[in-house]
Amino acid sequence: MPQTTFLVPSDLDGESVAAALAGDETLEAEPSREYRVRFFDTFDWRLHRAGRTLQRHDGSWQLIDLDRDAVVAEDPARPGPWPRFAWDLDPDGELRRPLGKLMKMRALLHLVTAGCVRERWVVRNRDAKIILRLALTGFTPEKPAVDTRLRVLEIHPLRGYERPARLADEAATRLGLAPMTGSLLDELLVTVGLEPRGYTSKFRVDMAPTLSAIEAFAVIGRHLLHTIRQNESGLRADIDTEFLHDFRVAIRRQRSAFNHFRGVVDPAALAPYAERLADLGRRTGPLRDLDVYLLDRERYRSLIPAELRDGLEPRFERLAAERGRELAQLRRTLGSAEYRDLMRGWSDFLADPPPGGLAAISILDLARKRLRKRHARVLRDGRAIGPDSPDEALHRLRIQCKKLRYLLEFTASVFPAGEVDDLISHLKGLQDNLGEFNDLSVQRADLRSALASPSGRGQARVQEAAALGGLLTALHARHHEVRDEFAAAFADFADPAVTRHFATLCGKEATGS
Amino acid sequence: MKVLALYSIKGGVGKTAAAVNLAHTAAEEGVRTLLLDLDAQGAASFYFRVRARRKSTVDRLLEDRDRVQRAIRATDYEHLDILPAHESFRRLERALDAVKKSRSRLARMLKPQRREYDLVVIDCPPTLTLVAEAVFRAADLVLVPVVPTTLSERTLDMLRREFKEQGLPRERLRAFFSLVDRRKRLHRDMLEDLPRRSKVAFCRSPIPVSSDIERMGLGREPVTRFAPQSAGALAVLELWWEVRRALGMRD
Ligand SMILES: Nc1ncnc2c1ncn2[C@@H]1O[C@H](COP(=O)(O)OP(=O)(O)O)[C@@H](O)[C@H]1O
Ligand SMILES: [Mg+2]
């Protein structure tokens, strides 16, 4: 018989609730306890999505399983600042591995701190044997501070004494107490006005298939604008690299929507915004490139022999310094009147976008029409690629795939549930291959140019050149492997079954060859 | 899961007191412990203020695993549960005799408990019959309280021979001195000589006569709980450490 939990309203006195639950048996208070808990997660709720949370409690850090309300891993808290990244944690501790897997490159953010008072009682029978345990914990949110207190009553049955626990459950129900359905953390978040899993980097809007194309454009645009705004402060505060990443992806998605919805909105009215958003996107590019390099620092080091590794350090240090300058530049951009004006103007635009010729057609019709074309284009370009095709052809295909992917994500909700997800999973395999191929091309080009003008002098210069050479060799080998894997990745996407699936999705006209 | 049996053919030598205190000490170290009260007198159950369910009769427990599950009750202490004695345990001997494979019955009854417990402590009734044989089969260690008197030497030796006849390894048998009064000359001499003479291994920690242990019946709590600093409780703690090592359990 598992523990049961109820929410207790603030006007009910703890002692009398406990007395009501004890019924005719003897109630005995135990010493109460005061403590403080703090909860943490990443901005995009990676722990919560995995059914976990990180809690600081009693001088230790605890990874909690939210369903079972149980500690899965625990490290003692160390003096000094709180850990921000998984790699700040004790390498030999219990938390490092499981948290690293969940958080990856994201930083921990404080969610809520609560001061707690835990009152406890035991219920004894005529033999003075304990037959039931009760606990009532009051949580007072301190950060963010709110006036409401959360009070949670726990009824702990003891093995072999199920009846008193059942009677206590019934008594709690008679008192009008509501069973607690979610986790304690969720109750606490709701108390302080936070929405659990309130942010996701995945694109998801819900639209009826009959919605007009121009309405759909506005719905998508508002969602993306919201994502842009949500990431601004984390980007400025430089909490982790993914704020910028999500910020950029939202801009890119928006620009892709301009293309997919062409004819739906008045092109002349749209043009200036398209241009300004493109410009904003371009300004974020250099910082993202540097982030990608610096995130890969350990991987790069691992690709070359140990004796060459230190040769890379001067380069990474230069890149880190450059990143600082780029970040400052981007902060200025985000603080500029021009940026604020763009955000305001674009928001107004989306409130009532001026219609183009295709404004009134349904989003379902538009989606089918454009998906058909996009899909045909990817198949055609992909089939034209042979073993000897230039790298440039693969890069163009990567762009085509990305457009198709965004279109599928924009319109997923107008098709039957799950249909689009299945197609996306096939497309994703191909995109992963093309993405890695492109990354390697870019990295090799960068290394080549670094090698053409090595920095430093004397021994340092030689060491850096040797390290860069070693890295180029490693990347070169992987680049060829990825190129060879392309045929299989494309074949999976171009499979007749997948193509038929696309055709059904897009209506009667067949796609492809 | 390890099984520890407190056994002696004699009554009043401190089996129950040791079973209760050792089980409580183990549980305090986080060892998930089940105390099995096989003595129809129910002294161990009394110490934990637990009464058996009316339906948990000996015949049903021997027949039905689910019955065993339902008969187990939480004590007031974390990690410590008890299967309380039922008045029908008086018939334990006959009930065992009535089922197939009597001698391995107890061991099989305990097997499913492996998932939930690290240690089972059996408090035995004072008999040398089928019940004792079944306990010997189930136990990893049979711990025998020995009051330092001349007669106990003979009793212990009889038990050793009984063990041998049943083909059980001698290492599973171990004695400890119980109700020791150091003011008595005889007790001091026995403590010196008996372990040297005896073919049964002795634990080094004796349990002294202790007014605190005697008072356990009044407060109905283990001495290790209500007087943890008393000489009696400290002696139990040292005995537990020896037992834990003998059982091959981690420190
Ligand atoms: N170390 C001890 N010091 C004093 N009295 C004890 C001690 N051990 C047991 N007793 C008392 O002796 C009596 C018999 O002990 P008990 O543990 O029930 O023996 P058994 O289980 O072998 O019959 C009980 O009244 C108990 O309180
Ligand atoms: Mg006894």
Give A20→chain B minimum CA distance, Å. 22
Residue A160: its chain B contacts at CB < 8 A? 50, 53, 70-74, 81
Ligand nearest to the CA of B40: 2
B214 ligand 1 Cβ < 6 A: yes
Ranking A22-36, A389-403, A453-467, B162-176 by mean pLDDT, the lowest is A453-467
- CA A198, chain centre distance (Å): 10
With tokens 């008996």, the residue in question is B194
In a domain, B89, yes or no: yes
**Backbone torsion region of residue A197, taken as left when φ is above 0, otherwise alpha when ψ lies between -120 and 50, otherwise beta:** left
Q: A161–B71: do the CB atoms touch at under 8 Å? A: no
Give the CATH number, domain containing residue B181. 3.40.50.300
- For chain A, the residues whose C-beta falls within 8 A of a C-beta of chain B are 122, 127-130, 158-161
Cβ-Cβ contacts under 8 Å for A38 (sequence gap 6 or more): A55, A56, A57, A110, A111, A112, A113, A114
In a domain, B241, yes or no: yes
Q: A120 phi and psi, to 5 degrees?
A: -130, 150
In a domain, B251, yes or no: no
Determine which of A28, A30, A127 to mutate to test the interface with B (most B C-beta atoms within 10 Å).
Answer: A127
Give A78→chain B minimum CA distance, Å. 26
Domain residue limits, chain A: 4-191, 202-358, 362-513
What is the rounded average pLDDT of the residues B203-226? 96
d(CA A217, CA A109): 33
Full domain range(s) for residue B79: 2-246
Q: Residue A496 pLDDT > 80, yes or no?
A: yes
CATH of domain A202-358: 1.40.20.10
Q: Say if domain A4-191 classifies as CATH 3.90.1570.
A: no
pTM listed for this prediction? 0.82
Q: Residue A175 pLDDT > 90, yes or no?
A: yes
pLDDT at residue B33, as a whole number: 98
pLDDT tier at B98, thresholds 50, 70, 90: very high
pLDDT at residue A455, as a whole number: 76
% residues pLDDT > 70 (chain B): 100
Q: Residue A511 pLDDT > 70, yes or no?
A: no
Nearest to A159 among B49, B72, B220 (CB): B72
Q: Which of A336, A411, A44 is nearest to A198 (CA)?
A: A44
What is the rounded average pLDDT of the residues A300-322? 91
pLDDT at residue A513, as a whole number: 38
One fold for both A202-358 and A362-513? yes
Q: A457 phi and psi, to 5 degrees?
A: -135, 160
pLDDT tier at A508, thresholds 50, 70, 90: low
pLDDT tier at A512, thresholds 50, 70, 90: very low
> pLDDT tens across A363-395, in order?
999 999 999 999 999 999 999 999 999 999 999
What is the rounded average pLDDT of the residues A469-484? 94
Q: Residue A510 pLDDT > 80, yes or no?
A: no
**Ligand 2 centre from B213 Cα, in Å?**
14
What is the rounded average pLDDT of the residues A213-242? 97
> pLDDT tens across B11-46, in order?
999 999 999 999 999 999 999 999 999 999 999 999
pLDDT at residue A488, as a whole number: 96
d(CA A87, CA B196): 60
% residues pLDDT > 90 (chain A): 89
What is the rounded average pLDDT of the residues B179-184? 96
Residues in chain B, overall count? 251
Residue B49: its chain A contacts at CB < 8 A? 127-129
A362-513 CATH choice from 1.40.20.10, 3.30.1540.10, 3.40.1280.10, 3.30.70.2740: 1.40.20.10
Q: Residue A243 pLDDT > 50, yes or no?
A: yes
ipTM of the complex: 0.90
Total domains, chain B? 1
Residue A120: its chain B contacts at CB < 8 A? none
What is the rounded average pLDDT of the residues A347-353? 97
Nearest to B73 among A122, A128, A161 (CB): A161
